[in-house]
Amino acid sequence: MMEGREKIEKNRKRRGRQSVAYAEPVYINASASVAGKKEGEGPLAGGIDMTGEDDLFGCGTWEEAESSLQKDAVYLAMGKAGVDSRQIQYLFAGDLLGQSIATSFGVMNYGIPLFGLYGACSTCGESLSLASMAIDGGFADTVVCVTSSHFASAEKEFRNPLEYGSQRPLSATWTVTGSGAFVLGKEKGEKARAKITGITTGRIVDYGLKDSLNMGCCMAPAACDVICQNLLDFGRQPSDYDRIITGDLGSVGQRALIDLAAERGYDISVNAWDCGMHIYDPAAQDTHAGGSGCACAAVTLSAYILKQLEEKKWKRVLFVPTGALLSKTSFNEGKTVPGIAHGVVLESV
């Protein structure tokens, strides 16, 4: 019944204030992504495992549809890794909805010990950070991370019912309908996609912006903060990463990020890359500034980024999902929209 664990001897180093470098990497042994019709018609179509014919996925409500996305992504990822839910020690999961109900109703039937997370659209980075710590710390051999978002449930949660037909400014992004799940392991799996070699945990940064339809600029300061801290803590230059990948700044927020990083002395204009700017085709699928949502970074990581690392087109990237910390209540009460971002160093295996 009780399983002893070997003594752990590590050369792990804590770096600077906000970062941890893993001497023994943590492996992303499998991943899966499930997405909506629009995402399935976009540039990442080839890498997405399953797309719906409509965005209800056979469910009665948008929220149930989002739950089914998480359930399916976890199921597919476990299948690819060749593990079942009894072999998963922890699930690190979250979404954008109030009280994280997409997660609760999505993953509950797996019966896996659950750590529910909320970091807005940065949650994918937060989940990979805590999950890799749990493995490196010796608390688990195999864990799963999953995050989701859904265009229609998010519009209802944060803005207006779809029926209102809201107009959107050019700085607005489009919430990605989808979910990405990742099976992380202490041991390198046969089909390991990449390894996590370090993390830089973000702080909340608030530049006082209040425009919830320009979330890219609200989040750019937090992304800049965590990227610069990562470079400082690891003693690296931007060129040490093939790409510095933000989650969902979109085209407007990315320009802000590049300018802010330049002010801090880092030129990231060459290798800055934003998931929100690659998940939709700007010409054929005009979404204004790009994609956003917890699923934006998660689906792009599973469907595209890990592929580049597998094929060694990229050797090392800094993956930085970005989150805007607002709710409809905070917005209606006139509060600012602070940002947070979590950095994860991913390398080819």
162 binds its own copies (CB under 8 A): no
Q: For its own copies, which is the closer residue by CB, 233 or 248? A: 233
251 binds its own copies (CB under 8 A): no
In angstroms, what is the minimal distance from the CB of 266 to its own copies?
16
Calculate the alpha carbon distances from 275 to 92, 102, 121, 188 in Å. Answer: 21, 22, 12, 26
For residues 46 and 86, which CB has a smaller minimum distance to its own copies in the complex?
86
Q: Using alpha carbons only, give the angle 328, 330, 333 rounded to the nearest 5 degrees.
A: 105
Instruction: Identify which of residues 235 and 265 has a Cβ nearer to its own copies in the complex.
Output: 235
Q: Which is nearer to its own copies, 17 or 188 (CB)?
A: 17
Q: How far is 29 from 137, CA to CA, in rounded Å?
A: 18
Q: CA–CA separation, 21 vs 44, rounded Å?
A: 31
Task: Report how far apart, in Å, the C-alpha atoms of 302 and of each of 49, 71, 272, 289, 295 are.
Answer: 9, 16, 19, 22, 10
Amino acid 114 reads: L
Does the protein bind its own copies through residue 325 (CB under 8 A)? yes
Q: Does position 75 bind its own copies by CB under 8 A?
A: no
Q: Which is nearer to its own copies, 138 or 169 (CB)?
A: 138
Which 82-101 positions form the footprint of its own copies (CB under 8 A)?
86, 89-90, 94, 96-101
Structure tokens at 1: 């019944």
Residue 212 in the binding site for its own copies (CB under 8 A): no
Out of 232, 240, 264, 310, which residue is the one contacting its own copies (CB under 8 A)?
232
Distance of CA 249 to the CA centre of its chain: 12
CB of 310 to its own copies, least distance (A): 28
How far is residue 43's CA from residue 304's CA, in Å, rounded to a whole number? 10
Q: How far is the CB of 12 from its own copies (least distance, A)?
A: 6
Q: Give the interface segment with its own copies, choosing from 163-171, 199-207, 272-280, 289-297 (CB under 8 A).
A: 199-207
How distant, in Å, are the alpha carbons of 33, 128, 260, 287, 307 from that of 36? Answer: 10, 23, 34, 15, 20
Smallest gap from Cβ 18 to its own copies, in A, equals 5
* Residue found under tokens 């090392």: 316
Q: Give yes or no for residue 161 binding its own copies (CB under 8 A).
A: no
Site for its own copies in 106-135 (CB under 8 A): 107-108, 111-120, 126, 129-130, 133-134
36 scored as a contact of its own copies (CB under 8 A): no
Q: Which amino acid is at 166?
A: S
